[in-house]
Every structure is written in structure tokens, then in C-alpha cells.
Amino acid sequence: MASDGRVDTSGSMWMGGKNDVTVKTFKTRQEAINFVKTKYNYDGSITIKITAAQDLGAATRAMKQLQSNYHFLFNNCNHIISAALTGAGLSQYGGYLVIPNLNFKELKNND
């Protein structure tokens, strides 16, 4: 799941606008890595071992976050990550920084 930004100009500057989302399922970790490298130019990854129940909690919370309006500061791609971690009961890992590269480093350091 990914929040790809705002797709329209509806809403106010404070409320944001419709969120452009990508939701995909991959058969392997490598397939996911290849996709994000091509689409987003990401070249790093973090793996956190979780249970099936945590996975469901993460997916449910992240999907709910994706369905809300996109806002650069208050509901961006990093908020999807923090929602997933919270849904999995893993908020101690971090994921709350606004700048994507800093957020990734924080998560990597806590992995």
C-alpha cells in the first residue's frame, strides 16, 4: 500500500484532497522490491517479522488511513507507515517523521 499524493484540488489547503493510492499484492519479497525500485526509485527495505493477526491489523489500519484525504504535512505516505505499525502493535519502531528518508533511517535503526 502506498499513498502517492493528492490527485485533485478538492478540499481546502487544510483538509487536503483525494488521495492517489497504490495497493498491490506480491508473491515474493523480491517482487515487491523490484516494483518499488521501478515505480518509486526506492532501493532499501526493512523486514519486520509479525504474526498473521498483526499483519491483518497493519493492513486494516493502513487501508483506513489511505482512504482519508491526502495532505502534505498531516496525511502523507509516512502516515500510512505509522498507521500500519500502530495497527500491528509496533508503534515503538517509530515511523512518525514527515521526511521520507529520515523516517526510513529511523525505522532501519529500530529494526
Identify the bridge partners of residue 71 per DSSP, sorted by sequence position. Answer: 75
The residue-averaged pLDDT of 73-92 equals 85
Type of residue numbered 109: N
Q: How many independent structural domains does the chain possess?
A: 1
Q: Say whether pLDDT at 57 is over 90.
A: yes
More confident residue, 35 or 18: 35
What is the domain range of residue 74?
A: 2-110
Contact 98/33 with Cβ under 8 angstroms?
A: no
What pTM does this model have?
A: 0.78
- Confidence category of residue 11, pLDDT binned at 50, 70, 90: low
Q: What is the pLDDT of residue 111?
A: 65
Q: What is the pLDDT of residue 67?
A: 87
Q: What is the pLDDT of residue 34?
A: 94
Q: Say whether pLDDT at 64 is over 90.
A: yes
Which segment of 22-36, 46-60, 81-95 scores lowest on mean pLDDT?
Answer: 81-95
Per-position b or e across 95-104, b if 16+ CB within 10 A of its CB: bebeeeeebb
Residue 22 has what DSSP assignment?
E
The residue-averaged pLDDT of 43-65 equals 92
C-alpha closest to that of 87 among 51, 48, 59, 45: 59
